[in-house]
Amino acid sequence: MAEFFPEIPTIQYEGPESKNPLAYKHYNPDEIIEGQSMKDLFRFSVCYWHTFRGTGSDPFGAGTLQRPWDDGSDSIENALKRVDVAFEFITKLGVPFYCWHDRDVAPEGSTLKESHANFDKIAARLKEKQDETGAKLLWGTANLFSHPRYMHGAATSCNADVYAYAASQVKKAIEVTYQLGGENYVFWGGREGYMNLYNTDMNRELDHLAKFMHMAHDHAKSIGFDGQFLFEPKPKEPTKHQYDFDAAACLNFIGRNGLDGIVKLNIETNHATLAGHSMMHELEYARIHDALGSIDANTGDMLLGWDTDQFPTDIYLTTQMMLVILKQNGLGTGGTNFDAKVRRESFEPIDLFHAHIGGMDAFARGAKVAAAIRKDGLLDEFVKQRYSSFDSGVGAKIEDGSATFADLEAYMLEKGEADANTSGRQEYLENLVNQYL
Ligand code: 3MF
Ligand code: MG
Ligand code: MG
């Protein structure tokens, strides 16, 4: 089999002292963190769209990325070759999973029927390569945002035919995800929202979206697919306002439309920050609602106001993320998908390896730091102490639901004034975290 990355060896763990740029310094797949191997804790995934379909083009300039294997056509032959390239890349990185949009892997045809046929041809090759290499599908999804037909939305389009087309595309993508053993299915609603409210019936659009999700779930059940459905929150871009604005908006929609237990969340760092949150906030908010299903691991640029989809290299970020993820012992059927792209100027194929190696090592370091913090327990002990007034007396009555306003007023009239507050010690806690980095 032709090699597409002949100059790249299989990337191995060489330890923190290694100076080899094509080696892991911290990601040691067999190293145990809180009882599970790094491989099982992270369940790293390569995304097809940025990694094998990215061209480096941006709104102001043409593509720059050197991809010698890609003839730039939409032919099936080119798509089949990309599959071989993808699995060589995934195998050399030693990453267990990958993710795709339907239209990343197979070209859209002139009719829906032709698109389905193209998808089937490529899916057969993906299955072959999965069986040959052992790499698995973390999740599939449908691209309901690129084609002009989706300009007014897909499941929230004002055009019923477009809604029906989107349903057909998601039906097929769920079927192929199931066929390939995918463990989850993602819905990112890049066009599900509005550009302005003068032309929008928000109530009907949200109602249509809820019906779409129930139809999707019903179909998944009917074919035997029990993969986890995941909403991927994002506040904006390309749509001015995206209905899946953030974790809270998603969970509100899920709860109000009978989707509890059916849909969890795929949280992306750059989407969290675009929504005005930290990633730690979105992860914790999802976790406390038992809705943290998977993550799109990337980072934005705090000085830029759009989704830059950069690879995560900030150890503070990965430590904060792992402090939350370790609280729920990992991501279950989900994983750590690098929804991230090399910069337009990092145009050589080898840059794809540097980017993923850096992201994987950053998560490994963050997990080791977070595990050390959790092991010493000083952070947890501080928080426990801070809320200790709710462990007994009036606080316990508030938490067990037996207190009433009248009780609380009688208690405070008797007592006269609240007990003094204790310091929040933010600076001490930030210093504490720094001791572990
Ligand atoms: C957009 C995204 C999307 C989603 C993808 C899967 C193109 O900002 O993050 O990537 O991750 O559609 O849901
Ligand atoms: Mg994403
Ligand atoms: Mg994104």
Per-residue pLDDT of the chain (437 residues; tens, 9 = 90+): 669 999 999 999 999 999 999 999 999 999 999 999 999 999 999 999 999 999 999 999 999 999 999 999 999 999 999 999 999 999 999 999 999 999 999 999 999 999 999 999 999 999 999 999 999 999 999 999 999 999 999 999 999 999 999 999 999 999 999 999 999 999 999 999 999 999 999 999 999 999 999 999 999 999 999 999 999 999 999 999 999 999 999 999 999 999 999 999 999 999 999 999 999 999 999 999 999 999 999 999 999 988 999 999 999 999 999 999 999 999 999 999 999 999 999 999 999 999 999 999 999 999 999 999 999 999 999 999 999 999 999 999 999 999 999 999 999 999 999 999 999 999 999 999 999 99
Residues 286 and 365 in one domain: yes
**Dihedral angle computed from the Cα positions of residues 430, 431, 436 and 437, in that order, rounded to the nearest 10 degrees:** 70
**Lookup: tokens for 270:** 């750059």
Residues 224 and 252 in one domain: yes
Residue 214 identity = H
Which of 271, 339, 341 to probe ligand 1 with, by most ligand atoms within 8 A of CB? 339
The parent domain of residue 36 ranges over 12-376
Residues 272 and 413 in one domain: no
Give a yes or no: residue 6 inside a domain: no
Q: Tell how far the Cα of 351 is from the centroid of ligand 1, in angstroms.
A: 21
Q: How far apart are CA 166 and CA 175, in angstroms?
A: 14
Q: Tell how far the Cα of 239 is from the centroid of ligand 1, in angstroms.
A: 13
Catalytic residue among 102, 104, 246, 361: 104
Residues 176 and 309 in one domain: yes
Residue 367 sits at the vertex; the CA angle it makes with 361 and 371, to the nearest 5 degrees, is: 150
341 within ligand 1 shell (Cβ under 6 A):
no
Residues 399 and 324 in one domain: no
Q: How far apart are CA 283 and CA 294, in angstroms?
A: 10
Q: Supply the DSSP symbol for 390.
A: G
Residues 272 and 412 in one domain: no
50 within ligand 1 shell (Cβ under 6 A):
no
Q: How far apart are CA 347 and CA 81, in angstroms?
A: 20
Give a yes or no: residue 2 inside a domain: no
Give a yes or no: residue 323 inside a domain: yes
318 within ligand 1 shell (Cβ under 6 A):
no
Q: CATH number of the domain at 280, please.
A: 3.20.20.150
Which of 376, 391, 422 is the last residue in one of the domains? 376
Give a yes or no: residue 333 inside a domain: yes
Query: Pairing state of beta strands 193-194 and 241-242?
Result: antiparallel
Q: Tell how far the Cα of 110 is from the centroid of ligand 2, in angstroms.
A: 27
Give a yes or no: residue 103 inside a domain: yes
Residues 293 and 403 in one domain: no
Q: Cα-flanking dihedrals φ and ψ of residue 32, to 5°?
A: -90, 130
Residues 80 and 35 in one domain: yes
Residues 368 and 263 in one domain: yes
Q: If you take atom 9 of ligand 1, which residue's CA is the nearest one?
A: 339
Specify binding-site residues. Answer: 232, 268, 271, 296, 307, 309, 339
Q: How far apart are CA 70 and CA 80, in angstroms?
A: 10
241 given a catalytic annotation: no
Residues 311 and 390 in one domain: no
Q: How far apart are CA 65 and CA 80, in angstroms?
A: 20
Q: Is 0.95 surpassed by the pTM of this model?
A: yes
Which of 346, 376, 406 is the last residue in one of the domains? 376
Q: Tell how far the Cα of 238 is from the centroid of ligand 2, in angstroms.
A: 13
192 within ligand 1 shell (Cβ under 6 A):
no
What confidence tens digit (pLDDT) does each residue in 118-173 have? 999 999 999 999 999 999 999 999 999 999 999 999 999 999 999 999 999 999 99
104 given a catalytic annotation: yes
Number of structural domains, the chain?
2
Q: If you take atom 12 of ligand 1, which residue's CA is the nearest one?
A: 188
CA distances from 412 to 388, 390, 405 (A): 18, 15, 10
**Lookup: tokens for 383:** 């928080």
